Chain A
Amino acid sequence: MRKLSVTNIKDSMVRFNVHLSYMYSKMLKGFLFITIILVPIHSFLVFTVLPQQAFRPTPVSTLSSTLWLTSIIFTFIIMYLAYSFASELSGGGAQLFLSHPLGKLEYVSAWFFTGLYVTVFLFLLSIILPVIVLDPTLLSKLSLRELYLLSLEMIVSGAIIFNVALMMKKSGLTFLCGVFFYYILPFVFMLSLAVFRKSSEFVIWMFIVLYPYKSMFIWGYARTFPYQIIQASFLSLFFAVLLHILAFVYSRWRLEVG
């Protein structure tokens, strides 16, 4: 078995960093384009919504509609990146990088990092940036809870989609999986919850784990729900961590390229 030493970890971090920088440089144009398009949209929406909330606070943040809408664009980016990841794995692109001293774990981590965290970071940036630039005093009106839950929701489903890309190496299937987890399944869940009033606890918890942000609207302010949504979201966090561990173990011990 390969020795786990400080030098090995250090070397591994250096290679991960090198590949990450390369991926950024390749995707920079696309990321910049998206940010430039979305910052004005968010600026407009945030500045029409935030003052209302400052004067007429409501239990459910009025930013929600805006965040929900624009998060769709970012979930689409995550889906597209997972699709590209699957294409690179199946099409031979991964073969080139992995024929050099780049570990499979480092390679997969670079994709996860770029596909999930950079996209979520850009999403948050596209909301926060216009507020900071135009009126920093409104920053306190942004609900951190909302941003946390929405980011977590994007990451949980994103991690599932990236795992599908990694293990199945099929770009079409990955994209379909993205559409299913981001756009279809939540509505199927909500529909079934509405139709079958007495849903089983298991279904409710599944919904909370997969969609903590959407759960906030359904149970976040209801007195019937025995837990705080933030507390319940730790289960989502745990699930996301598990998905990451699964991907890393798979990439280290099972991933074949070629």
Chain B
Amino acid sequence: MIEVKSVYKFYGSFPALRGVTFSVGKGVIAGLLGPNGSGKTTTLKILVGLLRRNSGEVQVLGYDPWVNGVEVRERVGILHERPIYPRDVSVHGLLKHLAKLRGLDDEEVKRVIKLVGLKEWEWKSISALSRGYLQRFGLAQALLGDPEILLLDEPTANLDPLARREILDLISILKRDLGITVIISSHIIPELQEVCNYAIFIRNGAVAGHGSLEELSIRYAVQSVYVIKTSYPRELAAYLIKDGIVTGVDIEKDALLVRVERGMNEEFIERIDSIKQKFNIESFYHKSSDLGELYEKVIRY
């Protein structure tokens, strides 16, 4: 869905991006991680054709966003880091205009207002919204027309803990119910831990590493959590603890949550494959990796 190859972007003589390369597939929730000023926002703006790259190739849904910006933005929604909205229009009025630009009617406006929980504020002026609700408005405008890709630039920046929690819950709902591809840019790691299954680490305008969390945890020897569904959870738990590859096991009904020792992912996968029949293992999958540890390893070193 998104292909970025050797992209360079200069602001005057300052190189904001230096050969950025990554790709994101369908249905992925990708975290774009990196310190402030590393080039995350520039990357997102290039993806929707707001900024022009100096060199390199970008394809979003098969289009070059700089040349075919309208075609890309018809199918992509974006929430900017510090958005500025016209203050003297109502929430409904502004969303209605943006929906019209997409050829959508009032029904769509009502849908997104309900989706992000802005019903009470529908007819209020934008200037009356708090930071948290402004961020909800930002999400609402990004979700107009059911975009295939959603780009969120620091969606929880400058929010109080409660508003932050609300926005994160909302993103989780979007991930679960709509199944769209999402790229979330942030430097707050624990937040992304909850929602991402893919990570792109960016440092000083260059990609330091990217891939699914499972791939990255294997590559950088980071502790991972796997879920195993089996008919014999207790027996399997006892077997795995005795084996020494795992550092901890939790039993939840017919599933095991297994924390695998750093750098032992490949051995663990091989071991599970070999005992599949013995313990009647129905399925097993990578649940999460310690994103903070990954960040430390990829960005700091």
Residues of B within 8 A of A257 (CB): 45, 50-51
Bound CA–CA A256/B73 (angstroms): 15
Bound CA–CA A104/B70 (angstroms): 9
A residues engaging B (CB < 8 A)? Answer: 1-2, 14-15, 18-19, 22, 26, 91-93, 95-104, 254, 256-258
Out of B69, B80, B88, B89, name the residue touching A103 (CB < 8 Å): B69
Q: Is the CB of B101 within 8 A of A101?
A: yes
Out of A91, A96, A100, A256, name the residue touching B52 (CB < 8 Å): A256
- A77, chain B: closest CB distance, angstroms: 18
Residues of B within 8 A of A18 (CB): 97, 100-101
Bound CA–CA A96/B50 (angstroms): 10
Let me know if B131 is at the binding interface, CB within 8 A.
no
Q: Is the CB of B101 within 8 A of A99?
A: no
Residues of B within 8 A of A254 (CB): 52
State how many residues of chain B have any CB contact under 8 Å with chain A.
32
7 smallest CB-CB distances across A and B, nearest first, come from A92-B84, A101-B74, A258-B45, A22-B97, A100-B101, A258-B50, A18-B100
Out of B41, B82, B83, B98, name the residue touching A100 (CB < 8 Å): B98
Let me know if B26 is at the binding interface, CB within 8 A.
no
Bound CA–CA A104/B84 (angstroms): 18
Residues of A within 8 A of B84 (CB): 91-93, 95-96
Out of A1, A91, A95, A100, name the residue touching B80 (CB < 8 Å): A95
Residues of A within 8 A of B141 (CB): 96, 99-100
Which B residues from 82 to 128 make CB contacts under 8 A with A? 82-86, 88-89, 97-98, 100-103
B residues engaging A (CB < 8 A)? Answer: 41, 45, 48, 50-52, 67-71, 73-74, 77-78, 80, 82-86, 88-89, 97-98, 100-103, 141-142, 144
Given that A19-B101, A258-B50, A258-B51 are known contacts, is A102 also in contact with B70, CB under 8 Å in the complex? yes
Residues of B within 8 A of A102 (CB): 70, 73, 101
Bound CA–CA A91/B78 (angstroms): 17
Bound CA–CA A111/B88 (angstroms): 18
Bound CA–CA A120/B175 (angstroms): 50
Residues of B within 8 A of A99 (CB): 48, 50, 73, 77-78, 80, 141-142
- A246, chain B: closest CB distance, angstroms: 18
Bound CA–CA A101/B74 (angstroms): 5
Bound CA–CA A254/B52 (angstroms): 8
Known pairs A99-B73, A100-B102. 18 more at Cβ < 8 A?
A: A2-B67, A14-B103, A15-B70, A15-B101, A22-B97, A92-B80, A93-B84, A93-B86, A96-B85, A97-B98, A99-B78, A100-B98, A100-B101, A101-B71, A101-B73, A254-B52, A256-B51, A257-B45
